[in-house]
Amino acid sequence: MAVLTTFIVEDNPLILDTLVSALQELTPVQVVGSAADESHAVAWLQQPGHACELLIVDIVLKSGSGLGVLRRTAHSTGPERRVVLTNYATPDVRAACRALGADRVFDKSSELDELIAYCEDVARPHA
């Protein structure tokens, strides 16, 4: 199974750890980097040599916002797929995320299974 290089933007270390280990164990995801706020995330993504196939962002961050990350990397040659993992997956938030180029929006609490399935699905053509 081919790996799916992934960058995660998440400010909570507990969630980050659990997410990384769960995704790496259950899916072909290989986490190549992570950031806890908007500026670090953008900095990492815009740095030459840094590349990933999947970007997972949380909306509420220590500073800045996941939406800001999406907006500021929308036009760069960034990751092919961007998904949002948030506690605020209301229809409006979903629409806003889509408008900013997010492929999918997952609820942090109720749609973790869907996120895992999506990661598996995305990785499949790479096999």
Partner 1 sequence: MLPGRTPERARLRRTRLALWLAAAAAVVVIAINEIGHARATQTLQTLSERFERRLIVTRLWRQMLEAESGQRGFLLTGRDSYLQPYRAALLEIEDSLRKLQGLHLDERRLAPQIASIEETTRQKMAELAATLDMYLDGRTEQWHELMLSDIGREKMDELRRAVRQVIDGETRRIEAGSVDAFGALGRNRLAINMLALLALLALALFLRNVQRLDRAQAAHDMALRTERDRLEATVIHRTAELTELTRHLQSAREDERSRLARELHDELGALLTAAKLESARLKRNLGPMPPEAAERLQQLNRTLDMGIALKRRIIEDLRPSSLSNLGLVAALEILAREFAQRAELAVHTELQPVALDEDAQMTVYRLVQESLTNIAKYAQASEVSVSLSQHDGQVQVGVRDNGIGFDTSAVRASAHGLLGMRYRVEAEGGRLQVDSRPGQGCHVRAWLPQSCETAQPATQE
Residues 6+ apart with CB under 8 A from 119: 4, 6, 23, 26, 27, 28, 29, 54
CB of 45 to partner 1, least distance (A): 19
Question: What SS3 class is residue 13?
Answer: helix
CB of 86 to partner 1, least distance (A): 9
Please, which residues bridge with residue 44 across strands?
Answer: none
Of 7 and 106, which CB lies nearer to partner 1 in the complex structure?
106
CB of 103 to partner 1, least distance (A): 18
**Please, are residues 102 and 83 in contact by the beta-carbon 8 Å criterion?**
yes
Which residues of the chain form contacts with partner 1 (CB under 8 A)? 11-12, 14-15, 17-19, 21-22, 25-26, 59-60, 65, 67-68, 71, 87-88, 90, 92-93, 96, 100, 108-110, 112-113, 116
